[in-house]
Structure formats: C-alpha cells, structure tokens
Amino acid sequence: MARPKLKLAWIEDRKKRNIACQKRMKGLMKMAEELTILSDTKACLTFFNRDDGKLVAWPSQEEAESLIERFYALPENQRNMNADDQESYIKTITKKIEKKLEHSRKVVEELEMDHLMLQIQNGRMLADLSQTEVEKLMSYASKKITVLTRELGAEHPYTSVDEPFLGDEIIPKATGVAVAPEGGPGPYLDAI
C-alpha cells in the first residue's frame, strides 16, 4: 500500500520533530549508501541539528572531511562543471519551455492550415480568405509539396525544367498580382 502524501510543514512539537529528523536522516543515509554501491562512486552526507548542536556525518566524519577536502582541491572550473546556480537553472528551464512552446505553435499553425484546406475542399471560396490566410496557405502547400516530394524520392516534373508550376503561367512576376483570364474566379497572388 502506498504511503499517503505528507504535508510539508514545520513540526511544532520538538519531540516529534526530532523523531522525524532521525527517521529521515537514516533514510537518506541508506539511499546514499545504495547509490555509492550501485554506481561505484564516493559520497558523504553531513547534518547539523540546531536544537542539540550535533554534527552527524555519513559514512564517518573523517571520510566526509577527506572527501570534501578532495572536492575543494579540484580546480574551480571542475568543481562548478555540473553545478547550476538559480539563474542558470531558470534560464535552462526557460529555454526548454520556449522550445516546447515554439513546437506547439508550429503544430497549431499546421492544424489550422489543415483545417483551412479541408474547408476549401468542402466548398469554401478562395475569395472568402484574407490575404494573410492565402499567403499562409500558399506557403504551407509549398512546404507540404516539398516534404512529400522528398519522402517519395521523386522530382516534380516542373522542378528540372524552366516551366511554370501550378497555374503560375497566368501570374506575371513583376507586379505580384494578375487578373485571371475572362470567366476566371478572380485575382491570384504571386507566391514570391
């Protein structure tokens, strides 16, 4: 059976506090011993109880002092190699969160474009879209075509020859906007 979640708060009763401290110290010492055996490393623990002024060291006070002296004998760059102060830790966490956020934004944008393409496939008119939506849709379609072409390992027939691609033949490159042939649906935007 799992232990119930413990409320972390100051224990008012001194006797109960000392008992809890002794239990936790024994538990930490046991974990440290297991860790040193499993990973073949050196470790030490020191506890100072303010109530009775005792210093408790594991495995022994001499071994703990020896290990701490060896640590301080190392060059400062080696001592601080894996150490993080609060600022660098927060920066690291912030970068990870920003990376996740950027990934989420890309996923949301891709889902929005998929939804927009589905709407167009189901009859929504291109004239109903804003210029920003059209530009995003063109960029998204271009990226999708490139990815699918790479995945299929084939070249698009128009990529090796200097010919227009996907109706570009009616869009002059100089102005960016062209009028469709008579009877056409309306203006087209250049992909540039």
Output the 3-class SS for 132-152.
HHHHHHHHHHHHHHHHHHHHH
Within a domain: residue 106?
yes
**146 shares a domain with 97:** yes
Q: What's the average model confidence in pLDDT over 142-150?
A: 89
Lowest mean pLDDT, pick from 13-17, 53-57, 83-87: 83-87
> Domain with 60 in it: what CATH number?
3.40.1810.10
**101 shares a domain with 62:** no
**185 shares a domain with 142:** no
Lowest mean pLDDT, pick from 11-20, 48-57, 78-87, 142-151: 78-87
Token pair in block for residue 17:
């506090």
pLDDT number for residue 156: 54
pLDDT number for residue 105: 96
Lowest mean pLDDT, pick from 67-71, 139-143, 152-156, 181-185: 181-185
Alpha carbon distances (Å) from 173 to 146, 159, 178, 189: 21, 18, 9, 10
Tally of structural domains, the chain: 3
Q: Quick check: 164 and 158 in contact, CB under 8 A? A: yes
Within a domain: residue 3?
no
Confidence class for position 49, pLDDT limits 50, 70, 90: confident
**93 shares a domain with 58:** no
pLDDT number for residue 107: 95
Question: Taking all residues of the chain, what is their mean pLDDT, rounded to a whole number?
Answer: 81
Q: What's the average model confidence in pLDDT over 7-17?
A: 86
Query: Concatenated DSSP letters for the chain?
Result: -PPPPPP-----SHHHHHHHHHHHHHHHHHHHHHHHHHHT----EEEEETTTTEEEEES-HHHHHHHHHHHHHS-HHHHTSS---HHHHHHHHHHHHHHHHHHHHHHHHHHHHHHHHHHHHTT--GGGS-HHHHHHHHHHHHHHHHHHHHHHT---TTTTTT---TTGGGS-TTTSEEPPSTT--S-EE---
Residue with the larger pLDDT of the pair 27 and 83? 27
Within a domain: residue 182?
yes
Domain housing 174: 163-192
- Residue 179 and residue 190: Cα distance in Å, rounded? 11
**142 shares a domain with 90:** yes
pLDDT at 158 over 60: no
pLDDT number for residue 166: 56
pLDDT at 110 over 70: yes
pLDDT number for residue 162: 55
**63 shares a domain with 18:** yes
Residue matched to tokens 């056409």: 184
